[in-house]
Structure 1
Amino acid sequence: MKHDTKVAVLGLGTMGHAFAANLIKAGFEVWVWNRSPGKDEALVAAGAHRADSPAEAAREVSVLLSMVATADATEQIMFGDQGAVAELPDGAVVAQMGTIGLEATKRLAARFEAERPDLELVDAPVSGSKGPAERAQVLILAGGDRQRAHAIEPVFEAISKGTRWLGPVGAGSRMKLVVNAWLVNVMQGTAETALLAEQLGFSTDTLWSVLDGGPLAAPYMKPKLDKIAASDFSTEMALDWGLKDARLALESGDAARLPGLAKIADIWQEAAAAGLGEQDISAVAEYLSKR
């Protein structure tokens, strides 16, 4: 089915590339831009328009998705030289989908209000990683005015299994930090449990067979146990990004009341310094095994 909505996707990393691919499959006209070259080739072959700058990507679209890793990068592609915001048509909807933290989200919202109040900003990070993103099975955690941002609903439907509208802009980022704090804790617990099982003579398969079907069998745990067993740390979520999100959670919450998360962040910092930052977060098990 062909959609009339024209969409720009800025940032073609693991998640942004999957979003663009799913939008093309769903019949949207899509413009794509990425800071480093080469990541758009398959998308262009599938029908996307290649833009040479965020500004060029923004000129004809009514919905823009930004999916870059840091607050600085987000502000640059929005408001920097050849930034998208100045070129967006009146009334366009902008979804900021990266995990950039609460203070950066507030700054971004204030700047939109000051410079382009006609645009509708939606704070929309996602829960999910590479596989779910490719299958359009992430969950979008949205903050913003749903009625004013109605044009983005079919776009979100094409790239996700659903959207939770949680409140005004900023609510999505708050919930994202909560969800990723849980994820970081589960990953660390999974890694340590797998190592303890090995030390006491059990395989990860045996461990899972005991947990499977019971209340302790978190679905997220099984594929991570498989990666640990195979020493396959190909990236679903990079350890560097997990560490970033843990630090953002600690900055936004009361770190004194989150001592476990603080300790995990220190361990993951050590693992990143040991050269594992670009590998999957399950690589923390590899780091701990050699510690």
Structure 2
Amino acid sequence: MKVSFIGLGVMGYPMAGHLVKAGFDVTVFNRTEAKAKAWAEQHGGAYRSTVAECVKDADVVLLCVGNDDDVRSMTTSETGALAFMKSGSVLVDHTTTSALLAEELSEAAQAVGVRFMDAPVSGGQAGAENGVLTIMCGGEPKVFDYLQPVFNAYGRSSVLMGKVGQGQRAKMVNQICIAGALTGISEGLILAEKAGLDIETLVACLKNGAAGSWQMENRAVTMSQNKFDFGFAIDWMIKDLGFCLDEAKRQGVALPMTQKTIESYQSLSEQGEGRMDTSILIKAIKKKAEL
């Protein structure tokens, strides 16, 4: 199976590397060509200077870029992948986007004889580097089954959530749950610090009980230490939670916690914290907690 990977950011770079380790014939493209060249030298795959050259012989084209407009630029523009992919191949978008974009891409792919699956991932930079991502998929069962060897290269779990767009909607729920966990941990840590509890001892106790979560185990202690440089920037979370609020509006529901969280992140970003990890939410909550 020939696989092409477009987008070598903090997620895509290691994901493409795992594909080489799994034995796939991998060709990559990145808008900054120097990074693609460095990847090829490190992992032994190939790189190309244009999307067209990267995807023309591929059985599967994987994409992990920044936002909806980036995805369109790499897929449906005149120089995008769909203009050059062979009939019967599969386009997979690992970018976190709107569900509407996933549906748009599916229609565009179908028009040129290409199959499509939206497949946003969760697990962050560490999950990508360790090959243990969770992959939330939307599309046809036959396409999902066909892609299992690919997903297994960098994923611990891949789940078909339903039709195209449902993978992105599942990712929205994931981001809302992360926001809720960080909100609760932030308020809990504020009380714990005021009460004089030892934070490391507290977290060691709580992480194995009903309050346990990935955020509790991996971020609570560093939050208490004011350490927030861990990869997933709040500017990306603002984008993701915006998709959540847009989808909620289409579904006719309100998400008050999500609304408050995005406002807190927006305020932090305006203060120059936009590249910090989402756990920096504690700073905004501490400010509100001052009596």
Calculate the TM-score normalised by the size of structure 2: 0.91
Q: Which residue of 2 aligns with 1:66?
A: 63
**Greater helix percent: which structure?**
2
Q: Aligned to 1:91, what secondary structure does the other structure show?
A: coil
Q: CA deviation at 1:207?
A: 2.6
- Among 164, 189, 192, which residue is 1:194 paired with? 189
* Structure 2 gaps, min length 5: none
- 174-183 or 39-48: bigger deviation: 39-48
* Structure 2 residue 60 is matched with structure 1 residue 51: no
Q: Which residue of 1 aligns with 2:219?
A: 224
* % identical equivalent positions: 29
- Among 163, 169, 174, which residue is 2:164 paired with? 169
Q: Which residue of 1 aligns with 2:2?
A: 6
For 2:60 and 2:214, the matched residues in 1 are separated by: 34
After superposition, give the CA deviation of every residue in 1:143-173 in whole Å (9 maximum; x if it has no partner). 1112145442211111101210121111111
Residues 27-46 of structure 1 aligned to structure 2 (within 5 Å): 27-45=23-41, 46=43
Q: CA deviation at 1:36?
A: 2.5
1:71 partner letter: D
Given the superposition, is the C-alpha separation of residues 90 and 110 from structure 1 closer, same or farther in structure 2, using an over 3 Å criterion? closer
After superposition, give the CA deviation of every residue in 1:82-126 in whole Å (9 maximum; x if it has no partner). 211111111111111111111222222222233x1x211011111
1:113 partner letter: Q
For 2:192 and 2:144, the matched residues in 1 are separated by: 49
For 2:64 and 2:208, the matched residues in 1 are separated by: 36
Q: CA deviation at 1:244?
A: 1.2
Preserved CA contact (<8 Å) 2:138 2:161: yes
Q: Aligned to 2:5, what secondary structure does the other structure show?
A: strand
Q: Aligned to 1:99, what secondary structure does the other structure show?
A: coil
For 1:265 and 1:87, the matched residues in 2 are separated by: 38
Residues 8-157 of structure 1 aligned to structure 2 (within 5 Å): 8-45=4-41, 46-114=43-111, 116=112, 118-148=113-143, 150-157=145-152
Q: Aligned to 1:147, what secondary structure does the other structure show?
A: helix
Given the superposition, is the C-alpha separation of residues 285 and 36 from structure 1 closer, same or farther in structure 2, using an over 3 Å criterion? farther
Q: Aligned to 2:126, what secondary structure does the other structure show?
A: helix
Preserved CA contact (<8 Å) 1:141 1:166: yes
Q: Aligned to 2:188, what secondary structure does the other structure show?
A: helix
Q: Aligned to 1:14, what secondary structure does the other structure show?
A: coil
Given the superposition, is the C-alpha separation of residues 50 and 256 from structure 1 closer, same or farther in structure 2, using an over 3 Å criterion? same
2:6 partner letter: L
Q: Which segments of structure 1 move beyond 3 Å, counting only runs of 4 or more?
A: 148-151, 286-291
Calculate the TM-score normalised by the size of structure 1: 0.91
For 2:163 and 2:287, the matched residues in 1 are separated by: 45
Preserved CA contact (<8 Å) 1:190 1:225: yes
Q: Aligned to 2:95, what secondary structure does the other structure show?
A: coil
For 1:219 and 1:284, the matched residues in 2 are separated by: 16
Q: Aligned to 1:158, what secondary structure does the other structure show?
A: helix
Q: CA deviation at 1:18?
A: 1.6
Q: CA deviation at 1:14?
A: 1.3
After superposition, give the CA deviation of every residue in 1:253-288 in whole Å (9 maximum; x if it has no partner). 147521111011101110111111111111222454
How many residues of Structure 1 are paired with residues of Structure 2 in the alignment?
Answer: 285
Q: Which residue of 1 aligns with 2:260?
A: 263
- Among 236, 239, 246, which residue is 2:234 paired with? 239
* Structure 1 gaps, min length 5: none
- 231-240 or 14-23: bigger deviation: 231-240
Q: Which residue of 1 aligns with 2:176?
A: 181
2:192 partner letter: A
2:242 partner letter: R
